[in-house]
Structure 1
Amino acid sequence: MHAGASGQPPTATAGPTSFALRPFRGLALSAQRVGDPASARAFARPYRDVAARLERWEAQGHVVRDREAALYLHEYTVGALTVRGLVGALDVSRAGAAERVVLPHEGVHQDQAADLAARMGEMELNPAPILLVHRGPGAVRDLIGRIMTDSPWQEYVDRAERHNRVWAVRDGSLLTELAEHLASSRPLIADGHHRYAAYVALHEQRPGTAADLGLAMLVDQDDTPLHLGAIHRTISRTDLDDLARAVGPAGTLTATTEASALAALSPTTLAVTDGAAWARLDLGALTERAAVQVLHEDVLPRLQGPHVVGYHHSVDDALERVARGQQLAVLMPAPDFDLVDRIVSSHRLLPEKATSFQPKPSLGVLMRSLLDG
């Protein structure tokens, strides 16, 4: 069973139930270390040594610590896609669903969240921001334009070949304007549901400390949209006949060719294969429901016998697993952002791994030490 993560309101400065990001003192790996897989050793076990490890790296010039607190604007470019977002400290100290202003769209495994909370507590670090997304007000885009007229705090191409630019925002009047225009925002969690739940758990263990806050990046989907992709499924120990019986009133499973099944893939039609035969699963007209909800809520519970669902970010990966036999691949459509937003705004959750927001920022561009307060 999954327990749904609750969204909570950030800072009190913009109102008791309003969204806000607080300035913090940025911590960053050096340009030569960002995007380098070898940098992961800085965050490896034993986690209690991570803070001291980063101090040693700082003395060696591998870590940069900002001189004072700021709200940061991080822009990164991956190929032809540029993503830009505000990075700040999110208040997680009030965990009331009635007040929530950060909206989860997937459930979490509480044991995984507890493990992450323990890890962050030992590291004394938020090693990466969770990713929040919304359709932001034009006034904030105008303010971001003003920020970008200044020279970046940092600019470099990292080891993953991503072009990063980071601005540090410290001007009081600009921070006030940003807070006022963001106060009514209700962003959804694009990536980091378990880390958000870990933020809440760590706050509950250490109330009134730096753990009241967690690191977050807010992206405007109308400015630099994240790509919202599909996560495909494999279902073990079942076949097309079993699936046809399980579909029932939820839709119609029709045998067809591979080309026809793939061509039919749409928000209301899934493509299914056992590695040899292909079918299309038509779900009919869906009213304020995503195809992934119908699959997990209406179809999979009706499958007879034990089965395991696997998750795959590419069609090729899903089909490769099916080629090994005794399972089905269910190819999913990419969810619609506005539908996902409406679903979570009505306090409903999607199934686990329903969305894939890409690209995510490289590890180490911005971190937050819990020792800085």
Structure 2
Amino acid sequence: MNTAGHSEATARRGLELTPFRGLRYDPDRVGSLAAVTSPPYDVVVRPDGVHHLQSADPYNIVRLILPQATTPTARNDQAADTLRRWLDEGVLTTDPEPGLYVYEQRDGGGMLQRGLIGALRVSEPSEGVVLPHEDVMPHVVADRAALMRATSANLEPLLLTYRGDGSAADVVERATQRSPLLDTTTEDGFSHRLWSVTDPADITLVQSDLAGHQALIADGHHRWATYRRLRAEHPSPSPWDHGLVLLVDTARYPLRVRAIHRLLHGLPVADALSALDGLFRVRHLDVPLAQALDALADAACAGNAFLLAGDGAFHLVDRPDPALLSRTVPADRPAAWRTLDATVLHATLLDHVWRIPEDSPAHIAYIHDTAATVAKAERDGGTAVLLHPVREEVVRDLARQGVTMPRKSTSFGPKPASGLVLRALDL
């Protein structure tokens, strides 16, 4: 079993997932395992999200991933103090031997996702092992890096996907036939189960299978950039050579890829539509949301298509004028990028037709929930722009070409719950 740092031999390999001794909550010391979990740090988006989670249980993981204090230094010191205290009190305990962890999520609608949590060797972009598809914001990377330095821990796994369906998937399936380490259901209706894989033969099977694969970052671009920064800061070999990830084989368990919609503040639907005259085909749809989304899906098969809402109806916008696209969409990118709905939305509609700055919260909001986007547009008098989701294969193909998509183009899920297993780097 290879747990070394980034030697020449491992640098030529693909994905290298290493066992680690997980930190996990002692169920006898907390109200419930569900009550100490949280969505990933960047998904705690409700105005009262942090307060709600802190109130759920005094040991909720949000106290580590989003500590509350007046300055960044105070926040990070607080998280480090809290982690040390929980370890001293036995609230968090270390598993007795290193292992990989099989993680399962289920919802009431039949969705099932399984993957492997482990410490992944942090590779360089030039190796082409881990593929990003979105740019990162430096201040967020700096913030996450400061928190990881202070706590000396990976507090939550990022989400990676790969296409395998080999022996690693078989190890995952066998593990789920045993009794889990934990089994809990969170308030969103998802059930979560966790198993450890400690048998050296199973770990060798996983590592041999993964060595021939590359992975796509589905969620956690900033945390991956943070891992890379911290790895560069520490002489190798060190625990910082690896970072905590959940690796999902989407050949066996496809992720849900959802669109992220836009809410345009201060632009009434009537004004948005009138600006499109002669540039796009516009069709009025007097149907419920579900049927309007079906119409959007059909139109998206033939080309760029959007659904506008906010005036009590839906308006299907498609068939853009080719001359308009050639004039407004940058020509120095691959065709797959130039034809993305998000590209046309930002380069053509927002920049050229509606003249709305995409980085101004006063003008535009990015919302995951479709019905909520429509409701807010109707309430505020703005325009909801609904998009059809991009397929994972398109995202992966662009990432392999080194092309990043427009910000907020996709939302992969379900995302792993934070708080089920942590990785301390000073063990």
1:1-373 paired onto structure 2 within 5 Å: 12=7, 14-31=10-27, 32-36=32-36, 37=53, 38=57, 39=60, 40-43=62-65, 44-45=67-68, 46-79=75-108, 80-92=110-122, 94-95=123-124, 97-152=125-180, 154-160=181-187, 162-208=190-236, 209-239=238-268, 243=272, 252-259=280-287, 261-266=292-297, 267=300, 268-276=304-312, 278-283=314-319, 288=336, 289-303=339-353, 305-307=355-357, 308-325=363-380, 327-372=382-427
Q: CA deviation at 1:295?
A: 1.4
Structure-1-length-normalised TM-score = 0.85
CA distance in 2, matches of 1:313, 1:156: 28
CA 1:240/1:119 → structure 2, altered by over 3 Å: closer, same or farther? same
Q: Is the 8 A contact 1:131 1:191 kept in 2?
A: yes
CA 1:132/1:171 → structure 2, altered by over 3 Å: closer, same or farther? same
Q: CA deviation at 1:173?
A: 2.6
Q: Is the 8 A contact 1:11 1:20 kept in 2?
A: no
- Secondary structure of 2:18's partner? coil
User: Which range moves more in the overlay, 281-290 or 109-118?
Assistant: 281-290
- Secondary structure of 1:233's partner? strand
- Secondary structure of 2:240's partner? helix
CA distance in 2, matches of 1:327, 1:368: 44
User: Which range moves more in the overlay, 39-48 or 215-224?
Assistant: 39-48
- Secondary structure of 2:17's partner? coil
CA 1:211/1:87 → structure 2, altered by over 3 Å: closer, same or farther? same
CA distance in 2, matches of 1:47, 1:59: 18
Structure-2-length-normalised TM-score = 0.75
Q: Is the 8 A contact 1:253 1:279 kept in 2?
A: no
- Secondary structure of 2:131's partner? coil
CA distance in 2, matches of 1:302, 1:239: 17
The number of aligned residues is 359
CA 1:278/1:34 → structure 2, altered by over 3 Å: closer, same or farther? closer
CA 1:257/1:245 → structure 2, altered by over 3 Å: closer, same or farther? closer
CA 1:144/1:233 → structure 2, altered by over 3 Å: closer, same or farther? same
CA distance in 2, matches of 1:61, 1:293: 50
CA distance in 1, matches of 2:294, 2:202: 49
Query: 1:6 corresponds to which residue?
Result: none
Q: Which has the higher strand share?
A: 1
Structure 1 spans left out of the alignment, 5+ residues: 1-9
State the Cα RMSD in Å.
2.9
- Secondary structure of 1:106's partner? coil
Q: Is the 8 A contact 2:342 2:406 kept in 1?
A: yes
Q: CA deviation at 1:76?
A: 2.4
Q: Is the 8 A contact 1:71 1:169 kept in 2?
A: yes
- Secondary structure of 1:280's partner? strand
Q: Deviations over 1:275-319 (max 9, x none)?
A: 356422214699634322321233322145454331111122212
- Secondary structure of 1:133's partner? strand
- Secondary structure of 2:404's partner? coil
Aligned-partner residue type, residue 359 of structure 1: P
- Secondary structure of 1:218's partner? strand
CA 1:299/1:141 → structure 2, altered by over 3 Å: closer, same or farther? same
CA distance in 2, matches of 1:274, 1:166: 43
- Secondary structure of 1:198's partner? helix
Aligned-partner residue type, residue 172 of structure 1: P
